[in-house]
Amino acid sequence: MIPSDLKYTEEHEWIRLEGDKAIVGITQHAIDELGDIVFVDLPEVGRQIGQMDEFGSVESVKTISSLYLPLTGEIIEVNTDLQKNPIALNESPYDDGWLVKVSISDEKEIDDLMTADEYKSYLETL
């Protein structure tokens, strides 16, 4: 299932826009590829991060994978529950498994992201 109200990256991050803020997570496809998540490393609140710059990582039983921020902005909230319960990413990647909330610096960057239909088409090419 690919939620239609989100925007996506080729690196399998998603964002949910909420005014001038965005919630960021990773897609079900990424979860399926990684397997069970055992550790999540997220940035500190207040950190400024550029579009598609690395902002953290997830560790699974198979590998460690970097996380890339879809939009330039300031980290305003981190899902600290994931540090205690990283399996929430596997169970609910689009709800309880969100990673960070960001104050968007440049709304024009939203145009660089894929719609759900574009992301679905992209997945078919992999």
Domain annotation for the chain: domains and CATH numbers: 7-107 (2.40.50.100)
Per-residue pLDDT reduced to its tens digit, 44-63: 999 999 999 999 999 999 89
Give the alpha-carbon dihedral of 92, 97, 103, 107, to 10 degrees: -40
Q: What integer pLDDT is reported at residue 1 of this predicted model?
A: 85
The pLDDT assigned to 120 comes to 97
Q: pLDDT tens digits for 76-88?
A: 999 999 989 999 9
Cβ contact 13:24 at 8 Å: yes
* Average pLDDT for the chain: 96
Residues in the chain with pLDDT < 50?
none
Alpha carbon distance 16, 22 (integer Å) = 5
